[in-house]
A and B are shown apart, each in its own frame.
Chain A
Amino acid sequence: NAGVTQTPKFQVLKTGQSMTLQCAQDMNHNSMYWYRQDPGMGLRLIYYSASEGTTDKGEVPNGYNVSRLNKREFSLRLESAAPSQTSVYFCASRDTGDQPQHFGDGTRLSIL
């Protein structure tokens, strides 16, 4: 049981390049989330999908787009990467009801 799987684990981009971060969960969870983790700032929510077919902005959505491809997969896209988007990105999922979020291993993204 893999849980939440993120690909790639590491990526280096040049400013202006585009990139899609992939996330898949095998727990049949309804809700999925994308966070970025920066030193001294904790985790901040970028976008989330409460259920298949819906997506909503979180705290820091600018510069990102998401797609809830199906119940399993939730991708995060950077259309034109900027150095300020250098961060570690975490995907998470949770079931309905009174359940906690489960996290992936993260994607370490550097933009030069």
Chain B
Amino acid sequence: AQRVTQPEKLLSVFKGAPVELKCNYSYSGSPELFWYVQYSRQRLQLLLRHISRESIKGFTADLNKGETSFHLKKPFAQEEDSAMYYCALSGGGGGNKLTFGTGTQLKVEL
């Protein structure tokens, strides 16, 4: 079975401070990991995926298979980063279903 754990429900940081949103996963095969972001009362948007190895809006995430983690990082938080962040895993197979974590609410304070 595949599982995604986001241990923090709420993360509050000051503007300009570094951000790290934690995500750990459990999956026996080779997973595909994603970070989705949901701004207040908007649809979920793909932020980034591990296979792209790109930086979006200053965020990066590295897949660490040894620690089964896919933490989301940004060196300097901005006010507009305040949102709900979901880590998700796709194990392939029929339908390429996504398993989501419970989400972390990021609040960037001035």
Contact = CB atoms under 8 A, between A and B. Distances in A.
A31 B100 contact: no
A50 to B, nearest CB: 4
Interface string A26-67: 000001010100001111110011100000101000000000
Interface residues of A, number: 26
Given A56-B95, A98-B51, A101-B98, A42 B43 contact: no
**Tier of interface size on chain B:** 20 to 34
Contacts of A35: 100
A106 B43 contact: yes
A80 B36 CA distance: 32
B88 to A, nearest CB: 8
B34 A100 contact: yes
Contacts of B94: 50, 56
18 contacts: A31-B95, A31-B96, A33-B95, A41-B102, A42-B86, A42-B100, A42-B101, A43-B44, A44-B100, A50-B96, A56-B94, A56-B95, A90-B44, A94-B96, A98-B32, A98-B51, A101-B98, A102-B46
Interface of B: 6, 9, 32, 34, 36, 42-46, 49, 51, 86, 94-103
